[in-house]
Amino acid sequence: MDFDLPESAAAVREGVLAIAGKYDQEYWSRCDAEKRWPEEVWRELVQGGWHALAVPEEHGGGGQGLLELAVALEALAEGGAGGAASFMYLLTPAFGGLTIARHGTEEQKREFLPKIVSGEIETCFAITEPDAGSNAINISTQARRDGDHFLVSGQKIWISGVERADYLVLVTRTIPAAEARPRTSGFTVLLVDVKAAVADGTLTFQPIPKLGTNTVASSTVFLDEVRVPADRVLGEVDQGFLVLWDILNPERILAAAGGVGSGGLVLKLACEYATDRAPFGKPIGTNQGIAFPLAKAKAQLELARLMTYKAAWLWDRGRPCGSEANIAKLTAADAAWQAADRAFQTYGGMAYSMEYPIARMFRDARIAKNIPVAEELVLAHIAQHELGLPKSY
Ligand SMILES: Cc1cc2nc3c(=O)[nH]c(=O)nc-3n(C[C@H](O)[C@H](O)[C@H](O)COP(=O)(O)OP(=O)(O)OC[C@H]3O[C@@H](n4cnc5c(N)ncnc54)[C@H](O)[C@@H]3O)c2cc1C
């Protein structure tokens, strides 16, 4: 393997762990119960510039890359945030920061990146629609040119953080799926001013009641002739697919980093419990039936971490990383789920008590197998692109 962790990564890990260390599990459980964004932690990340590590220095950021963002996210998750960390690093640092830094025009970079760095603006991302989740090619949200604007209409679903966001990175079709040749053409990615569109009534949203990941809402978004200036296109009109892969691959890589960190956290709690709890006079962790599955989860998390860093390292160099990003996401989500499941077992009946954080972590770990890309779709990608098997869909 021809990559090496930069020295800066250790400093990033240390810096973010120091912030995470100030907040205990009671804090995270409270945020979850109150369904509120961890504002205090977010502000500290912004003040330290830990959310803008990948924004170029000329725009006020850390001048580093996705690898350092992944290390930061992993540290935040492992240091206590668990699943909440992924949303904190995906919404603004990745969907806004990374995308504009790589695909924005010079004007867009000058306008938006310093505001992302200062914490003045936040972003979110919308691709999923009621009839197009895994099959994103089929989205039907339409952007129609109208002079020096686009008019956008359609419906998005599961859009996380739209209630906080100032700008929405919105995936639209400027050529309908049925007419696009190839079918990957005709996508246009727009930066939509959420507050303005809410104010003029063209964008409305409705939070979806959901099982977990409560520190951020996920909403159905209705777009009714939203006016977007033509200079708010990210990348080229009709060529948004290129931009899209530079959103989806980092999303998978960061989701993997979140899984590795969350898995590490839940494993740590399980090991503490297994060391303290002694219903038969000796710690339950002395039983290999308890210890070995935890050890196996640790091994799987370590492997997932390696693939996550490798994928991020490739992305930072502009090299193809689709399979690595998918494999990282697949293995990290699975390892994190195994860790949460075994922690649940280790805690016995207490796993079910909301007094302990395990129930919350167990619940949040599960969804990582389905999002941002479901494991079946990852396996289909590996089968086709790595094994040369016929395409299955
Ligand atoms: C908490 C949460 C937050 C989210 N946040 C966002 C967000 O901020 N922005 C956004 O745009 N989206 C977001 N999403 C949406 C998420 O990315 C999608 O739910 C995900 O991509 C899966 O799409 P789907 O739900 O339409 O599942 P479907 O595509 O309907 O798939 C359902 C199941 O069928 C399987 N399946 C489908 N096709 C095949 C096939 N060809 N072969 C084998 N199996 C197949 C899938 O693997 C899956 O298990 C979020 C979702 C959740 C739950």
pLDDT, tens only, 251-278: 999 999 999 999 999 999 999 999 999 9
Atom of ligand 1 nearest to the CA of 392: 41
* Residues 327, 307 contacting (CB under 8 angstroms): yes
Ligand 1 center from residue 372 Cα (angstroms): 7
- Please write the tens of the pLDDT for every residue from 345-356: 999 999 999 999
How far apart CA 173 and CA 167 sit, in angstroms, is 18
Pick the CATH number of 124-240 from 1.10.10.10, 2.40.110.10, 3.40.50.2300, 3.60.90.10: 2.40.110.10
- Ligand 1 geometric centre to CA of 381 (Å): 15
The pLDDT confidence band at residue 1, using thresholds 50, 70 and 90, is: very low
Residues ≥6 apart with Cβ < 8 Å to 289:
none
Looking only at the bridges linking them, the beta strands covering 123-126 and 167-173 are: parallel
The secondary structure of residue 239, as a DSSP letter, is: B
pLDDT in tens, 278-310: 999 999 999 999 999 999 999 999 999 999 999
How confident is residue 3, by pLDDT bands cut at 50, 70 and 90? Answer: low
Query: Is the CB of 125 inside a 6 Å radius of any atom of ligand 1?
Result: yes
Global pTM? 0.98
Identify the pLDDT of residue 6.
79
CATH architecture of 241-385: Up-down Bundle (1.20)
For domain 7-122, the CATH architecture is Orthogonal Bundle (1.10)
Quick count: other Cβ atoms within 10 Å of Cβ 208?
Answer: 13
The model's pLDDT over 87-114, given as tens digits with 9 standing for 90+, comes to 999 999 999 999 999 999 999 999 999 9
**How many angstroms separate the alpha carbon of residue 15 from the centre of ligand 1?**
34
Tokens representing residue 226 in the block: 């939203």
Domain residue spans in the chain?
Answer: 7-122, 124-240, 241-385
